[in-house]
């Protein structure tokens, strides 16, 4: 997530919910930050990175098959 730019708001909501409810020390994103039909451009990576920087814990992103 997000698989498309219109899902970025959902990611931001997940980040907020994680900050409020999760006792975890870190988060691992299992890849596919964009879907098959999205171009993986520098700005798209930056948008997702900025969203994940909102986490209260470190985030580690494992590249998926769409990166």
Domain annotation covers residue 21: yes
Domain annotation covers residue 25: yes
Residue 21 has which token pair?
A: 């409810």
Using 50, 70 and 90 to split pLDDT, how confident is the model at 1? low
Domain count, the chain: 1
* Range of weakest confidence among 7-11, 38-42, 53-57, 59-63: 38-42
Domain annotation covers residue 18: yes
Domain annotation covers residue 11: yes
Domain annotation covers residue 67: no
Domain annotation covers residue 66: no
* DSSP assignments along 35-56, one per residue: -TTS---HHHHHHHHHHHTTSS
Domain annotation covers residue 26: yes
Torsion of CA 26, 64, 7, 57, to 10 degrees: 10
% helix, strand, coil for the chain, step of 5: 40, 10, 50
User: pTM of the entire structure?
Assistant: 0.80
Q: The domain containing residue 39 runs over which residues?
A: 5-61
């Amino acid at each position: 997530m997000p698989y498309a730019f219109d899902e970025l708001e959902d990611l931001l909501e997940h980040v907020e919910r994680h900050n409020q409810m999760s006792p975890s020390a870190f988060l691992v994103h299992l890849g596919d930050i964009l879907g098959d039909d999205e171009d993986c451009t520098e700005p798209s990576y930056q948008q997702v990175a900025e969203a994940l920087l909102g986490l209260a814990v470190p985030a580690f992103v494992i590249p998926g098959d769409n990166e």
